[in-house]
Structure 1
Amino acid sequence: MTHAKSALAALSIAGLFLASTPALANASAQANTHTLTIKVDGIETPTGRMMIAIFQGAENYRVKDALQGIRPTVSDNTLESEFSDLPEGDYAITLFQDVNGDGKLNLGKFGIPVEPYGFSNDALPKLGPPQWDDIRFSVSEDAQTQTIKLR
C-alpha cells in the first residue's frame, strides 16, 4: 500500500465515526472510570473543528468502531479536549482537523490528505494505517494526557 493510501486508510477511521459513534452507555455507573485529556499541537490554521475518535480495544480499531467521538472548535494553535468516564483498558485515538468545516477529511492528488491529522502516541502511518500496537495506550488512572502533533 502506498503512503498516500496508507494515510487515507488511517484517516478514514476518524471520519467514519461521525455518523455512527454511539455514546458511551452506562459509563458513569461503572467503577474505576477515568478522564483522558487530548492535547493537539501544531495547529497552523486555527479554524474549523478537530474531529477526534477514541477506540477501545484492537478489534474495535480494526473495524473502525469508535467508542466516542468529539468535535471541538479550533480557535487557537493548540487544543485541549477531554474524554471522561472511560473504564480502565487499552485505547487508541485518531483525529483530523476539518479546516473548511465540510465534515470530512479532504484529500488531494493521489488521495493524500490536505487537512492535518494525527494519532495517539504521535504515531505515523507506514505502508497502511498505524498498527494497533503503535497507537495503543492504557487508561488506568486519572489525569492522563495524550499529546498529538498534527501532520
Structure 2
Amino acid sequence: MIHDRSRLAGLLAFAATSLFCLGAPARGASLTTTIENVPDAKGTIRIALCRKDEFLKRSCDYRTELPATPPKTVATFPDVKPGIYAVQVFQDRNGNGKLDRSFIGMPTEPVGFSRNPVLRFGPPDFAQCAMQVTPAGGAISLRLITR
C-alpha cells in the first residue's frame, strides 16, 4: 500500500512538472500593412497577403477588407506563418467585390502592391513584390496607384 502511494505521488509530480514544461502553442507573426494614397472614402480597401502560388489570384490565405479611409488605411494580419509573401490591394470603389478594368485590361480602380513596383504594361511579377515575413512580424507601407 505504501509502495502504491509513493508511486502515485511520483506520477502526479511527473505529470504536474510536464504540464509546466509545455510551452504555449507557436503563434504566427503579426504583419501591419499601411495603405497610403487612399484618394477618397468610397467603398472598401481589399487587401491580400499571398504566397507565390496565390499571387494575382483571389485564393490568398490571408485576406481582409476595411472601409476606405483617406489618406491611409491600416490593416493587421495576425497569425501569419513566416515565409515569403506579396501584398496586393485595391480600392473596391463600387462595392462589386472585384477589380474593375478598362476594355484593354487596365485597372480602373486604385491598386497597389508591396515594395511599390512600377506598373507598366500589366501587373508586376511576384519577385518585384516579394517580402519576408519573419517570426517577429513587422510592418510595411505601400501606395495605391490611381489613374
TM-score, normalised by the number of residues in structure 2: 0.73
Given residue 33 of structure 2, which amino acid in structure 1 is its aligned partner?
I
Correspondence 1:116 to 2:137: no
Q: Which runs of 5+ in 2 are unaligned?
A: 1-23
Q: Deviations over 1:15-51 (max 9, x none)?
A: xxxxxxxxxxxxxx86251100110111111221011
The CA RMSD measured in Å over matched residues stands at 2.1
Q: Which moved more, 1:87-96 or 1:135-144?
A: 135-144
Give 1:131 deviation, angstroms. Answer: 1.6
Partner SS, residue 104 of structure 2: helix
- 1-structure distance, mates of 2:58, 2:99: 15
Per-residue CA deviation, residues 49-105 of structure 1 (Å, 9 max, x unaligned), is 01111112x233276631121111113321000101011111111110011222221
Return the alpha-carbon distance in structure 1 between the equivalents of residues 102 and 131 of structure 2: 31
Identity across aligned pairs (percent)? Answer: 26
Give the structure with higher Rg (CA). 2
Residue 38 (structure 2) aligned to one of 21, 43, 55 = 43
Where structure 1 has 5 or more consecutive residues not aligned to the other structure, the ranges are 1-28
Higher RCO by CA contacts (8 Å cutoff, separation 6 or greater):
1
Size of the alignment, in residue pairs?
122
Question: Cα gap change, 1:77/1:34 in structure 2, threshold over 3 Å: closer, same or farther?
Answer: same
* Structure 2 equivalent of residue 31 of structure 1: 26
Structure with higher helix content: 1
Q: Per-residue deviation at 1:110?
A: 1.9
Q: Quick check: 1:30–1:87 contact (8 Å CA) kept in 2?
A: no
Aligned ranges for residues 90-105 of structure 1 at < 5 Å? 90-105=84-99
In structure 2, what is the Cα distance between the partners aligned to 1:128 and 1:31? Answer: 39
* TM-score, length of structure 1 as denominator length: 0.71
